[in-house]
């Protein structure tokens, strides 16, 4: 019991079912407070276990049930503790139980392009990434490894991506691309797709193939959370 009591836990949290059918969902907040708006349960589980939604295997309704969550936590809590707080919330309120597994899935291998790798090692300290979404997306990365880039690309493409570049070290770079589903008639100044941008800007490419992917398998979860 002591081990369970030691789990990082939000100071307070409210959960409400969102039936708005609004396509928008997101996360917002400030120091000491986090808000999940219209968030599918599958994405909440993915955030709690630091994986992409496609890595969560469970009942189909995980994508259909959306929730609004407002929670508070000690302002000094590090990111790893806040992630565990969300996991604790799902375990306690949705009775979530999972296990990890691995399987091969269609995806991409991140490999050097034939033109050659174009980046030079970062000379700075501290790593950081900043992503801006929309019709045109951009990524600014500092002191970032190829393994981290592969994880980010999995998020942007919605497909598993594994780092097979063989390139060590960390790098600074900027990447701009147009979302393919919104770029059927691109303007003259629109950036290329993410696949082309990777080759032109970084000297990397995404090679389609089956890749081993870690998955979070949902063993048990309740559709409605316990009361606030």
How much is the pLDDT for 79? Answer: 84
The pLDDT of 41-55, averaged and rounded, is 92
Give mean pLDDT, residues 192-215: 95
Asked if 124 and 204 sit in the same domain, the reply is: yes
173 domain residue, yes or no: yes
Inside any domain, residue 219: no
Token code pair at residue 61: 């309704």
Task: Mark whether 56 and 151 lie in a shared domain.
Answer: no
**What is the domain count for the chain?**
2
The parent domain of residue 127 ranges over 105-212
Q: Which of 108, 111, 186 is nearest to 153 (CA)?
A: 108
* Residue where a domain terminates, one of 94, 126, 157: 94
User: In the prediction, which pLDDT does 183 show?
Assistant: 44
Contact 96, 218 (CB under 8 A): yes
Backbone angles phi, psi at 28, to 5 degrees: -145, 170
Is residue 221 situated within a structural domain?
Answer: no
Q: Considering only residues 176 and 79, tell me which one the structure prediction assigns the higher pLDDT.
A: 176
CA distance 223 to 41: 9
Classify residue 40 by burial, with Cβ atoms within 10 Å: 0-12, 13-18, 19+: buried
Q: Is residue 224 part of a domain?
A: no
User: Alpha-carbon distance 41 to 33, whole Å?
Assistant: 19
Residue 125 belongs to some domain of the structure = yes
């Amino acid at each position: 019991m002591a081990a369970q009591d030691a789990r990082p836990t939000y100071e307070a949290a409210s959960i409400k079912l969102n039936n708005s059918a609004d396509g928008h969902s997101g996360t917002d907040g400030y120091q000491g407070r986090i808000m999940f708006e219209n968030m599918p349960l599958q994405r909440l589980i993915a955030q709690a276990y630091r994986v992409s939604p496609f890595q969560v295997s469970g009942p189909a309704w995980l994508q259909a049930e959306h929730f609004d969550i407002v929670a508070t936590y000690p302002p000094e809590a590090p990111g790893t503790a806040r992630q565990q707080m969300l996991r604790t919330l799902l375990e306690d309120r949705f009775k979530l139980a999972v296990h990890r597994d691995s399987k091969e899935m269609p995806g991409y291998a991140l490999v050097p392009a034939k033109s050659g790798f174009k980046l030079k090692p970062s000379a700075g300290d501290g790593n950081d990434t900043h992503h801006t979404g929309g019709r045109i997306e951009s990524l600014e990365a500092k002191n970032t490894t190829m393994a981290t880039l592969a994880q980010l690309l999995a998020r942007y493409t919605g497909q598993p991506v594994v780092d097979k570049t063989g390139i060590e070290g960390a790098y600074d770079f900027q990447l701009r691309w147009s979302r393919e589903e919104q770029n059927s008639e691109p303007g003259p100044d629109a950036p290329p797709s993410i696949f082309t941008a990777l080759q032109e800007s970084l000297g990397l490419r995404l090679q389609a193939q089956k890749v081993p992917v870690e998955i979070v398998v949902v063993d048990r979860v309740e559709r409605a959370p316990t009361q606030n």
